[in-house]
Amino acid sequence: MRIFGWIALAGLLATFVPVAGQTPMISSGSDLLNFMNSDLNYITNQRDRYASIEGSPYLEEEFREGALYFRQQKYGGLQLRYNAYDGVFEFLTDQGVKYFNPNSTPVDTVWGGTDTYIFTLYLEGKARKKAFMKLLNRSRTKVLEFQEVLLQEATEAKGYEEARPARFDPRPGITYVQREGEPAREFRGKKDLGTLFPAHEEDLAKYAKKEKLKLKTPEDLVRLCAYFDSLE
C-alpha cells in the first residue's frame, strides 16, 4: 500500500493549527486493542524489508503521544508515528509495534502532537484514491497536505556511475483543497481557482489581489478558503 494562514493573522492562526483537545476523550488505547486485534498483526518482516534501504519511511522516527477517532469514539494515550511510505499509522504497545490499515479499519482522524490527519478521498488525475493527509485548517473548506515517501530502487554500477542501494526518498508536501462533500484536489496556484471554485473564481481572484495573496503557501490558501466559505 502506498501510499498521508493563519487569521488575519492571529484569528486565522487558530483555524490553521488544529487542536486535539477540542474532541472529548472517550476511551483508552487498551480498549482499542479489543476492537482491532484482526488488524494489529504488524508486518513481521518489516525490519528485514527495510534493513537494506537507506533513509527512513517515517516523517519522524520517534513515537509521539496521540489519539485517533474510530467507530465514533476517540482513543487516547497512544504512542504514534506515521509511516509515509506504507501510508499507515504505527503505534507502540506492550506487544510491540502495531499498525492501523485504514483501508480495512475506518480510522478517519488521527491526532499526533499538534498535528491532525484525516483519511480522505482525493483525485490523482482521474483516479480516485484515499490517503491520510495533514489538516491545515478547521474551516468547512479544508486545506490539506499530502506527505509521501517513495522508494528509489537500487541501481547497478554503469560506466562512471557507482552502484546505489535502495533508498527512501521523502517528497515535498503537496497541497490539496477539499470542498464539502467532494474529493480533495491538488492546488498548484492561481490557475486552479477556476477548477476548484468555478462559481467564485473572479471574487477569489479579486480578494487574493486585494490581500496580496500569492497563493504559493498553505497560509495564503487557508485565508482564501476562509473567505470562500464566507461567500457560500
Please state the rounded mean pLDDT for residues 148-160: 87
Type of residue numbered 5: G
Instruction: Say if 209 falls within a structural domain.
Output: no
Please state the rounded mean pLDDT for residues 166-192: 95
Q: Is the dihedral of CA 115, 178, 216, 201 positive or negative?
A: negative
Question: Residue 198: phi, psi to the nearest 5?
Answer: -60, -35
Instruction: Say if 72 falls within a structural domain.
Output: yes
For residue 224, pLDDT beyond 90: yes
* pLDDT score recorded for residue 28: 57
Q: How many domains does the chain have?
A: 1
Render pLDDT for 33-80 as a digit per residue (tens, 0 to 9): 655 544 545 566 677 788 889 999 999 999 999 998 888 888 888 899
Residue 156 pLDDT grade (very low, low, confident, very high; cuts 50, 70, 90)? confident
Instruction: Say if 114 falls within a structural domain.
Output: yes
3-class SS letters over 18-43: CCHHHCCCCEEHHHHHHHHHHHCCCC
Q: What is the mean pLDDT of the chain?
A: 83
| Furthest CA-CA distance within the chain | 61
For residue 132, pLDDT beyond 90: yes
Task: Give the percent of the chain with pLDDT over 70.
Answer: 81
Nearest to 135 by CA among 154, 119, 122: 119
Instruction: Say if 23 falls within a structural domain.
Output: yes
Instruction: Say if 85 falls within a structural domain.
Output: yes
Instruction: Say if 38 falls within a structural domain.
Output: yes
Q: How far apart are CA 194 and CA 215, in angstroms?
A: 14
Reading the block at residue 97, the C-alpha cell is 509495534
* pLDDT score recorded for residue 34: 58
Render pLDDT for 86-111 as a digit per residue (tens, 0 to 9): 998 988 887 778 888 787 777 889 99
Residue 12 pLDDT grade (very low, low, confident, very high; cuts 50, 70, 90)? very low
Instruction: Say if 198 falls within a structural domain.
Output: no
Asked whether 54 and 164 are in contact (CB, 8 A), the reply is: no
Asked whether 122 and 131 are in contact (CB, 8 A), the reply is: yes
Full domain range(s) for residue 18: 10-189
Please state the rounded mean pLDDT for residues 178-199: 96
